[in-house]
A and B are shown apart, each in its own frame.
Chain A
Amino acid sequence: MSKKYDVIIIGAGISGCAVAWKLARYNLDILLLEKEADVATGTTKANTAIMHAGYNADPDKLKGRLNVKGNEEIREVSKKLNIPYKEIGSLVVGLEGDDLSVIDELYQKGLKNKVKNMEIVDRDWLFEHEPNISRDAVKALWAPTAGVITPWEAALAMAQNAVANGVEVKLQTAVEDVLTEEGKVVGVKTNQGDFAADYVVNSAGLYADEIAKMVGIEKINITPRKGEYYIYDHAKDFAVNHVVFPIPTPISKGIVVTPTVENNLLIGPTSENVESKTDLATTKEGLKEVYEGAKKLYPDLDLRDTIRVFAGLRAADDTEDFVIEAAENVKGFVNVAGIQSPGLASSTAIAGYTADILRDEGLTLSEKKNYIETREEPVRFYEMTNKERAKMVDQNKEYGQIICRCETVSYKEILDAINSPVGARTVNAVKRRTRAGAGRCQAGFCGPRVVDILAQELGIDPTEVKQEEGNSQILEYKIKQLLGSRVMGNA
C-alpha cells in the first residue's frame, strides 16, 4: 500500500473539489481521486450553473441550511480563487393564469432561510428590467443575491488551490473498493493500486450509492435525473438580464432562461428520472419541452444561434436532500451524497459542513502556517479589451496567435491549460479551461489545432488524443493507414 493519507476524497466534481479546497488549509495529507481524465466531468459539467439565492430550498432540510451560506461565501471565494461569477439576481415570474400565491410562499420561505434583499416586483418593473419578458407577466419574486458561475471552473479553481496547498490529485483512478479493518476505514482499492487513509469522503456524485455500498451502507439510493438544455452563441441579440424561472412545480424549478457568466443564453432543464447513470442523450421530446418552456417566459425567443444541445444528470437521493453525514457502521467514512440543486450554490458550505463532521469524527484540523488563499487568475483573452490584449502580447508573443477564433483563445492560454496544475489532457478539458471550441463553430476550425497542440505537449500521437473519456479518440487512422489495411485484407 501507499503512504498513509489522512483523508482520501472520492470524486472530483464540485463537492469533492470543494472538500479538498476546504481541508487543504489544515495540516493534512489529502488525496483526491477521480475516475475520469479531468475534474468536473460528471454532474458538474452539465447543469444550469446558478448560485441560487436560497428561497426555494426547504428550511427544514440540509439544502435550506447550506444554500444561503454557500451563496454568501461565494462572493469572497470567487474573488480569491478567480472564479468567473456574476451576481445578476433571479426572478420567479408569475404569468396570467399561474398560481401567483406561490410567489408569496417562496418569499416567506426565503425569509425563513434568511435570504437577503428579496422583493416582490410588479409588471412595470419587469418590463423595464426584462424588456423581452412575456406581456402576460404579472409579478415576480426578485432575489438580487442569486448569480451565475462557471461550475467546472469553480471545481478546477478549488482543485488547483488545493494542489498549491499540497493536496495530491490522481485522475483516471477508479475506486473499486473501500478497505476497512475492525469497523474502521483503512484505505481504498483502485484500478491504480491501493491507497491507505484514516478517513474517506464519498463525494462520488451519481455513483455515491455504489461507493457507500462498499462499506455496507444501503440507505443511499441515487437516481439519475436528466436535465436537457439548449445553449446559444453569446453573439445572439436577445436580452435576458436575470436568471429567470417560471413558477416552480413540486418536483422542479421549471425551464429557466438565463445568461451564463460568458453571456451565452442558456435554456433548460427538463427533469426526468432515467435508468442509466450514463444516459446523457438529449431527446426530441425533452428539447421540445425546453423550448416551449422558455417560450412561455420569452415568447419572442427563437432557436436561431443555438450552438449546442446537451444533457446532464442530477444525483438525486431518495430523501431529495443532501446526505452529508458520518457512517454509523464504519468509523472514518463520510458521505457527501445526493448533491443536486442547489448543490453548486451550496458547495463551499457543503465543504465546511463536511470538515466539521470530520473534526467531530476525530480528525485534527490545525491550520497551516503558509496556507495559500488565492489562485492566480488565468489569462482570459475573450473577456479582455484590445488594450489589455495588446499589453499581454507585448509581454509574451505567444499570446499573439489566436487558436479559437470564435472565443478569441490564444496559443499561450491553451499551453497554460495543459501545463498548469491539474492540467488538461483532453480536448474537452482544454475547452472547459479556455473556451476553445465552445463557440459558434463548435471547434470546426480550432479542433485540428487543439488536437495538434495536445499531441505535441503531451508527447503522444494525434490519433491518441481524446475528446473526453473512454474510447473518445477524435482521429482513428493516419492517412493511407486504413486504405493500407483494406488492401492487405483483400490480398
Chain B
Amino acid sequence: MLNLKKDLVVIGGGPAGLAAAKKAYDEGIEDVMILERDFELGGILPQCIHNGFGLHYFKEELTGPEYAQRFINDVKERNIEIKLDTMVLDVTKDRKVYAMNKKEGFLEIEAGAVVLAMGCRERTSGAIGIPGTRPAGVITAGTAQRYTNIEGFVPGDEVVILGSGDIGLIMARRMKLEGADVKAVCELLPYTGGLTRNVVQCLEDYDIPLMLNHTVTAIKGEGRLEAVEISEVDENLKPIPATAKTIKADTLLLSVGLIPENELSKKADVVLDDRTGGPIVNEGRETNIEGIFACGNVLHVHDLVDWVTEESQIAGAHAAKYIKNSFAKTNKCVDVKAGENVSYVIPQKIELEAGDRKKIPLYMRVSTPLTAVDINLYADGEKLYSFSEPFAKPGEMISVPLAQKTLDDLDNLNEIKVEIIEKEGE
C-alpha cells in the first residue's frame, strides 16, 4: 500500500475535474493530484466528436475532444499530477482517499481538500422498467456513443431512440451518418429534453421523426432485439393501448435521463439534494463536509460543458482558499430556495464571509417549458428584482447573478427564493 499526502485531490479527470485542478493551481495550490478511472483524461468529452462546445467559454465552436484537450494541455503544463486507470474506492469525511491502479496497487491519500468531480451516469431500461424481454441491442445512448466513437463499432442498423435528451439526439444523427436507419426518436413528454439546436441539427436536418408524447411500451426479441412496441401517451403520461404499434428494430438507444454519480460522496457522509441528485453546496461549492467540494455533473446535470467549466473554477478557487486557510464562514446561512416552476437552484445556501461575495451566480432549471417569463428573486418574501426571458425550457439551464446590493445585504437575510412565471396577459 502506497501512502501519499496531497494538498488537493480531484476525483475525476473530466471537464469538471480538469477545470477545478487548473483553477486551484492558478490560485497558488501546486500540490494537486487528479485521479481518473478511464485510460485518458477528458471524461465523456473524447467520445463527443460533434461540434458545439465552447461557444460561451472560448467564444468559438469546438468538438468535445478539442474542448477537453485545451484543459488537458493546461493541466499538463502546470505539472499537475495525474493518475489514469485509477479507481477511487472510498472517501472519508476526514478526507482520506482510497484508490487503486494496476501500476502502483493500492493508494491511501491524505488530502487537504477534495473536489468531487465524478460526473453522472445514464438512466437504464431496468430503471424505468420497460416491459418485455431483455435482448442484446438495448443500450444507453452514451454507451452506444462510446462503442461508435472510441471503440469503433456500430451497435446495429435499425434504430429506435427513446428519450430526447441531448445524447439521444446526437446519437440519432451519428447512427444515421454511419448508415443506420434511424426510425424514430420517442419522447414521453410533450417537449424535448435536449437543446433546441440539437433538435434542429440532429433530427430535422436528417428527416428523423420526433414523436412527442410517445414511449416504448414493450421490448421484443429473444437473442437480439427484434422490435419495439411504441404507444402514444395521454395527458397523464399513461400509454393509450389503442395507439400501440410495433416497429422493427435491432437497436434501442435510451436517452432517458442522467443521474449524478454520488456513491463515493455518500461514503464521506455528504448530504444530497433529492431534486438534483447531487450534494447540497454553498456558493463555494463546498458540501456539508468541510473541505470536500463538488462540481460538474456530479453536483447537478448540466446542459453545456461551458457551465461545467465555470462552476468548477468556483469549486477549484474555493478549495484553494480552504487549503490556504483563507476560507471563512459566517455564523449564519442564507437558504436559496426554488419557488414556482423552478426545479432546483444551485447553490442551495450562501454562507461564506463577505470577502468572498464578489459575484454569486445562481444556476437553475425550470420544471416545465414556459414562454415570455419573468425570473423573480425574493429576499425573505420581499421581491428584489426580475429578469425577463423570451422562453424557459427544462433542457436548458438558466443562470442569474445576484445583484451587488443583495450581496451587500446578505448578512441581514435568511432566505432567497427564485420563481419563474409567465408574464400576465401574454
Enumerate chain A interface residues (CB-CB to B < 8 A): 230-231, 235, 278, 280-284, 286-287, 303, 306-310, 386, 389-390, 393-394, 397-402, 405-406, 408, 411, 440-445, 447-448, 452, 462-463, 466-487
Contacts and interface: CB of A to CB of B under 8 A. Distances in A.
A479 B153 contact: yes
B247 to A, nearest CB: 17
B279 interface: no
Contacts of B121: 440-441, 444-445
A481 B152 CA distance: 10
B151 A472 contact: no
A452 B105 CA distance: 23
B124 A287 contact: no
A449 B71 CA distance: 26
B418 to A, nearest CB: 26
A190 to B, nearest CB: 21
A471 B89 contact: no
B369 to A, nearest CB: 25
A486 B133 CA distance: 30
8 contacts: A309-B129, A441-B121, A442-B126, A444-B143, A448-B146, A468-B136, A473-B224, A475-B153
Given A310-B134, A483-B178, A400 B152 contact: no
A472 B124 contact: no
B52 interface: no
Contact of A307 (B85, B100, B126, B134): B126
A478 B152 contact: yes
B152 to A, nearest CB: 4
B156 interface: yes
A490 to B, nearest CB: 10
Contact of B101 (A400, A406, A442): A400
Nearest to A489: B179
Interface in B112-153: 121-122, 124-127, 129-137, 139-140, 142-143, 146-148, 150-153
B179 A462 contact: no
B104 A448 contact: no
B419 interface: no
B126 A482 contact: no
B300 to A, nearest CB: 18
Given A405-B87, A479-B148, A284 B224 contact: no
A486 B154 CA distance: 14
B326 to A, nearest CB: 33
Contacts of B204: none
A204 B302 CA distance: 52
Q: Interface centre among B87, B102, B125, B180, by most A CB within 10 Å?
A: B102
Given A405-B37, A405-B87, A473-B136, A448 B102 contact: no
B178 to A, nearest CB: 5
Interface of B: 1, 37, 85, 87, 89-90, 98, 100-106, 121-122, 124-127, 129-137, 139-140, 142-143, 146-148, 150-157, 177-180, 217-220, 222-224, 250, 263, 266
Given A306-B126, A482-B180, A386 B154 contact: no
Contacts of B126: 231, 306-309, 442
Contact of A462 (B127, B151, B180, B250): B151
B157 A307 contact: no
Given A308-B126, A445-B121, A477-B153, A389 B100 contact: yes
A474 to B, nearest CB: 5
B190 to A, nearest CB: 22
Contacts of A441: 121-122, 124
B102 A281 contact: no
Nearest to A441: B121
B131 A479 contact: no
Nearest to B177: A483
Nearest to A447: B143
Contacts of A447: 139, 143
A479 B152 contact: yes
Contacts of B222: 278, 280, 469-470
A72 to B, nearest CB: 35
A230 B129 contact: yes
A447 B140 CA distance: 11
Contacts of A402: 37, 87, 89, 100
B89 to A, nearest CB: 6
B154 A475 contact: yes
A476 B154 contact: yes
Contacts of A235: 263, 266
Nearest to A427: B136
B101 A401 contact: yes
Contact of B179 (A307, A399, A483): A483
B178 A482 contact: yes
A405 to B, nearest CB: 6
A467 B136 contact: yes
Given A287-B129, A444-B121, A470 B180 contact: no
Contacts of B130: 309
B131 A283 contact: yes
A472 B151 CA distance: 19
A475 B139 CA distance: 11
A286 B156 CA distance: 30
Contact of B102 (A280, A282, A283, A411): A411
B106 A476 contact: no
Given A473-B136, A477-B154, A482-B180, A398 B102 contact: yes
Given A386-B106, A400-B103, A444 B142 contact: yes
Contacts of B37: 402, 405
A476 B124 contact: no
B218 to A, nearest CB: 7
Given A442-B127, A473-B136, 16 more contacts: A235-B263, A280-B134, A281-B133, A287-B129, A308-B134, A389-B89, A393-B100, A397-B103, A399-B100, A400-B103, A401-B102, A445-B143, A468-B223, A472-B223, A479-B178, A487-B179
A277 B250 CA distance: 23
B105 A394 contact: yes
Contacts of B132: 281-282
Contacts of A307: 124, 126-127
A394 B105 CA distance: 6
B260 to A, nearest CB: 12
A411 B100 CA distance: 12
Q: Which 3 A-B pairs have the closest CB atoms?
A: A470-B223, A308-B126, A483-B179
A463 B150 CA distance: 15
B200 to A, nearest CB: 23
A44 to B, nearest CB: 16
Nearest to A399: B100
A6 B376 CA distance: 83
Nearest to B219: A281
A267 to B, nearest CB: 12
Nearest to A305: B127
Given A230-B129, A475-B147, A281 B218 contact: yes
A478 B131 contact: no
Contacts of B101: 400-401
Contacts of A443: 143
Q: Which of B87, B100, B151, B224 has the most chain A CB atoms closer than 10 A to its own CB? A: B100
A460 to B, nearest CB: 13
A308 B219 CA distance: 14
A485 B85 CA distance: 37
A462 B101 CA distance: 25
A416 to B, nearest CB: 16
Contact of B154 (A408, A440, A445, A482): A482
A287 B129 CA distance: 8
A448 B151 contact: yes
Given A400-B102, A447-B143, A486 B155 contact: no
Nearest to B134: A310
Contacts of A474: 136-137, 155
B154 A479 contact: yes
Contacts of A287: 129, 131
Nearest to A461: B153
A431 B132 CA distance: 21
A293 B380 CA distance: 46
